[in-house]
Structure 1
């Protein structure tokens, strides 16, 4: 049996679509919340068992991993250790777990927690007979429900003058949720012995933040003036806002990372399972059409 977390989420629903398109025949157990929209699961035509519960609850995880041989864990890296411990306890053979390239950030706040989690994961894996592949998406986008480009789209749509850090020269490599759903499926179907311990899942090619903003502006049909600020000034403003709001609004790390290159090669994923993400130009145009339609 296959156990899946996060299947009703942004990238999870594209993983579900891959299971549907490939007519997956095995039993699938999906952890969902009471508030989740499960209509896609209900109408999938697959052999799906929905289980409602709290992924923070170790007793619940212990129960739902019984009889499971594979897990695709999508929902959040912060839950991985609990999932892994339950999997070990119940003799699960393989886990495909979605983490983040944020672990490579030079900023401690962005990466320290992830480093600690993965250090504990490695320790558990060395002591137990279980196979694990970690998938590391870059900045995820693709629909108005994403937490990245959708925010920039709204901001560029609203403001004629748009601030950028250091002329928007830092590199990003956004990856579309559709490409991630396909990658999750492809890695799941690989024999465990052929899969590497981790794969980076990035967009087609690196682009600058300014190039991304220009594409957003052009697709919106807007004439946007981009006003550049030094990184230090942006951090100063973010600190001031945090102080004024007594810590309720904290954009310091986000501003710092606007000056950090976040581009990573997906060469190994391309070689091992044919990962071929679509261009950002294509993906962002689709997302903006969806935004304008709403």
Structure 2
């Protein structure tokens, strides 16, 4: 019989990519959405924030928590009651990059990530569950994510991209498929127990070059226009309907280096992500 792996947040970007990396594992997906994802043998519709979450969960020794890390601790008692003794949960490097943002909403996200991680560690220790926390950098999955794909939609529509100050800040985009593999590897590695890792993409490049690669993937000539901050803010106001969910701090961060050292993950997890070469064929 195949081992069952419980996956909370199965409709997330990483959760969508798990079936292709799971091999013989039997995936039991848990989500607030009732529509099962392809590749999941079992599907449980549940909300981690509501009572009775544990009803319907299968017996299992291991679980992935891909839902927001600030909800993770609440799930641990129910998972432990089903026999789970090993958990890998995802957080985000936004815990650090947004901690000192001038935007109160972004600071609140950073605080929620930090508090969620701490609470997860506490509850796992109380229940005798081994934990690992993975913090990806900028996640993308062509056609699905709200980062690279959102930028691709703007580029395809406008055929030109204004960048605040030239977009000199460094980025490390990481593909959801690589993260799915990384989560499964973390479950297998004893060296990863009781540790948190920053997971960066396979390449460090400027925001401008990242945007240029998106132009290339769309088959468009690179038309990138550096603008002073005041002009970029005006352009952003006009383009905002094409960037749902984007905030005004997006421009300011184009100049910031948002990079992380993933040497420990490469050592302990065998982390080896792909370089940034997005594929938007058919997009």
TM-score of the two chains, using structure 2 as the length reference: 0.82
Task: Indicate the SS of the match to 2:256.
Answer: coil
Deviation at 1:96, TM superposition (A): 0.5
Corresponding residue of 2:255: 259
Cα deviations by residue, 1:248-294 (Å, 9 ceiling, x for unpaired): 9771243343333222122112111211111102xx1x2x2131xxx
Deviation at 1:72, TM superposition (A): 0.6
CA contact (8 A) 1:138 1:174 kept: yes
Task: Indicate the SS of the match to 1:63.
Answer: coil
Q: Which has the higher helix share?
A: 1
Residue 58, structure 1, aligned to residue 51, structure 2:
yes
Corresponding residue of 2:90: 98
Instruction: Give 1:1-294 correspondences, 5 Å limit.
Output: 1-19=4-22, 22-24=23-25, 28-41=27-40, 48-60=41-53, 62-64=54-56, 67-88=59-80, 92-105=84-97, 106-107=100-101, 108-191=107-190, 194-231=192-229, 234=232, 251-281=247-277, 284=278, 286=279, 288-291=280-283
CA gap 1:153/1:102 in 2 versus in 1, 3 angstroms: same
Deviation at 1:38, TM superposition (A): 3.0
In 2, Cα distance between equivalents of 1:130 and 1:202: 26
Task: Indicate the SS of the match to 1:11.
Answer: helix
In 1, Cα distance between equivalents of 2:245 and 2:272: 38
Deviation at 1:221, TM superposition (A): 3.1
Task: Indicate the SS of the match to 1:280.
Answer: coil
TM-score of the two chains, using structure 1 as the length reference: 0.79
CA gap 1:67/1:138 in 2 versus in 1, 3 angstroms: same
In 2, Cα distance between equivalents of 1:167 and 1:15: 36
Q: Which runs of 5+ in 1 are unaligned?
A: 42-47
In 1, Cα distance between equivalents of 2:202 and 2:32: 33
In 1, Cα distance between equivalents of 2:234 and 2:109: 18
CA gap 1:151/1:55 in 2 versus in 1, 3 angstroms: same
In 1, Cα distance between equivalents of 2:128 and 2:230: 48
Deviation at 1:64, TM superposition (A): 4.4
CA contact (8 A) 1:133 1:198 kept: yes
Task: Indicate the SS of the match to 1:167.
Answer: coil
Cα deviations by residue, 1:194-229 (Å, 9 ceiling, x for unpaired): 535112221112100000111222333323432223
In 2, Cα distance between equivalents of 1:143 and 1:101: 21
CA contact (8 A) 2:143 2:149 kept: yes
Q: CA RMSD in A?
A: 2.9
How many equivalent residue pairs? 270
Task: Indicate the SS of the match to 1:133.
Answer: strand
CA gap 1:133/1:235 in 2 versus in 1, 3 angstroms: farther
Q: Which runs of 5+ in 2 are unaligned?
A: 102-106
